[in-house]
Amino acid sequence: MGNYTEEINRRRTFAIISHPDAGKTTLTEKFLLYGGAINLAGSVKGKATARHAVSDWMEIEKERGISVTSSVLQFEYDGYCINILDTPGHQDFSEDTYRTLMAADSAVMVIDASKGVEAQTRKLFKVCGMRGIPIFTFINKMDRDARDTFELLDDIEKELGIATCPVNWPIGSGKAFQGVYDREKKCVIAYSDTEKGTKEGKATEVAVEDETHLRELLGNEAADKLLGEIELLDGASAEFDLDAVRAGKLTPVCFGSALTNFGVEIFLKHFLNMTTTPLPRKADIGMIEPAENEFSAFVFKIQANMNKAHRDRVAFMRICSGRFDANMEVRHVQGNKVMRLSQPQQIMADERKILSEAYAGDIIGVFDPGIFSIGDTICMPKDKFQYEGIPTFAPEHFARVRQMDTMKRKQFVKGIEQIAQEGAIQIFQEYNTGMEEIIVGVVGVLQFDVLKYRLENEYNVEIRLENLPYEHIRWIENKEEVDLSKLTGTSDMKKVKDMKGNPLLLFVNSWSIGMTLDRNKGLVLTEFSRN
């Protein structure tokens, strides 16, 4: 047993989730600024300058100003080693976000103060609920006119079914935003307009009991409003309870503005105090404790062509236990192979640094020659256990893919298979034919654009997509007992198979699923694949 408990205990690994445009990427950048990982925050939209946000690296992301893949960023701050998993905000990429949440120990939820809880926040929150992970809320954009603060908290509680506990309280919003009241210190931290892209300015702190100074600082009207709200707040909000936070039942809430850089460091400090060291993970042999076991990890993401100069694939792994050494031999459980992980690296958006060691809680990228799949377990050669699989979501939109130039068949098949292995799209074939007929299924329609764009730009293959009317897909759970050729379906049903040869059924109407089950006694259908 190595002396790595201390290293593991300083790790904090969290994902940032939000609705598009709530300011998540800006917040991520400001965190990196405090950790000294970057010197100047990128203008996220890239309109004013050509600099793009550090965490958006794919060409299509730079063009559209949205995040479509999750990136992994690591930095040091105040004795902690922090791993941030930045996730796509757009709902068409919720599957990627779900897998990323599997690799995180907690989540930071960013909410726009003028909009409150939005549709995508709800969907992502459900995913956090499925995992029971702690959620920390940052209500952003206080430098713009915001909704009533009590209403915002009420909104979170009603919409997401989680209690809120404000750690601080905003004083005004928009042009009248003056700072926050820190509930623990019982003082007002005044807002001084700092330049965008620099660290937080000098904050003025005034104890709330010192009413004379408070009124001088805020003006009578704002001071009266604040004193009234504090009284209400102390009577109405949930008591802070760290166990409830860690169980995902209570969310601590901070207010600020990532763009003007107010409240970001305050939030980071509170967050680090409340969040946990890397958590144990469930495997088929029971819970695996991070500090009491040797190296183990699971693959939660595969990304091809991150580097234009080298057509490569990187498998991202969350280290769950022990210490990783670049020279060690490990077992790839699903492939039943003992091997060395090639080119282990830590990735800072599109910059990489080769590493010699990493610890439980860290995220590493390794070169993938095409052998890893999402959900695979890596452990020591003497061990042989598997972490819980990551479910595959049922696609909701389908299209037939036709390539424009039949001479480029090889590039086409390679490209589409590689993109499918990343988990962004699922590909199916007609049940009785070869690869001639390819059907693509996606969770969100924007994935079709990404597929078209990437095939053209990375594989030099042009395609045409023909939308299909299917909306429902079912895997056949008891495929060994079912003869697919004798299956009696409905007129709107199509038989297909996935990349692993598993039979599936596509339906246009949901009622056809029930009819097919009635007509084929013993048939068992399921909504997601567990392989």
| Six token digits for residue 411 | 């590039």
Cβ neighbours of residue 128 closer than 8 Å, sequence gap 6 or more: 17, 101, 107, 109, 135, 248
CA–CA separation, 101 vs 115, rounded Å?
A: 24
Q: Which residue has the tokens 């707040």?
A: 233
The answer to whether residues 169 and 183 touch, using CB atoms and an 8 Å cutoff, is yes
The pLDDT of residue 100 is 81
User: Which domains does the chain carry?
Assistant: 13-72+86-178+239-274 (3.40.50.300), 281-379 (2.40.30.10), 397-526 (3.30.70.3280)
Say what angle helices 119-131 and 94-102 make with each other, to 10 degrees: 30
CA–CA separation, 394 vs 496, rounded Å?
A: 14
The pLDDT of residue 255 is 95
The pLDDT of residue 11 is 94
Residue type, 33: L
Strand ranges, E, within 203-312:
204-207, 250-255, 281-283, 286-288, 296-304
The pLDDT of residue 331 is 95
Long-range contacts of residues 98-101, Cβ cutoff 8 Å, at least 24 apart: 98/127, 98/390, 98/393, 99/70, 99/300, 99/301, 99/374, 99/390, 99/423, 100/15, 100/70, 100/300, 100/301, 101/15, 101/17, 101/127, 101/128, 101/131, 101/133
* Residues forming a β-bridge with 345: 354, 365
Residues in the chain: 531
Q: Taken in order 450, 452, 453, 454, is the CA torsion positive or negative?
A: positive
Q: pLDDT tens, position by position, for the chain (531 residues)? A: 457 889 999 999 998 888 777 777 788 888 878 776 555 444 333 333 334 554 544 555 555 544 434 467 788 888 999 888 877 644 544 567 777 888 899 999 999 999 988 776 776 777 677 777 899 999 999 999 999 999 999 999 988 888 999 999 999 989 889 899 998 888 898 876 554 445 555 668 888 888 888 898 888 998 999 999 988 887 777 788 999 999 889 999 999 998 888 888 889 989 998 998 999 999 999 999 999 889 999 998 887 655 555 557 788 899 999 999 999 999 999 889 999 998 888 766 456 678 889 999 999 988 888 788 888 999 999 998 999 877 666 788 899 988 888 888 888 888 888 778 777 788 888 877 655 678 998 877 777 888 888 888 888 899 898 999 998 888 888 877 777 778 888 889 988 888 777 888 999 998 999 899 898 888 888 876 655
CA–CA separation, 513 vs 98, rounded Å?
A: 26
Q: Are strands 250-255 and 163-166 parallel, antiparallel or unpaired?
A: parallel
The answer to whether residues 122 and 149 touch, using CB atoms and an 8 Å cutoff, is no
Cβ neighbours of residue 419 closer than 8 Å, sequence gap 6 or more: 304, 425, 451, 454, 455
Annotate 80-92 with three-state secondary structure: EEEEEEECCCCHH
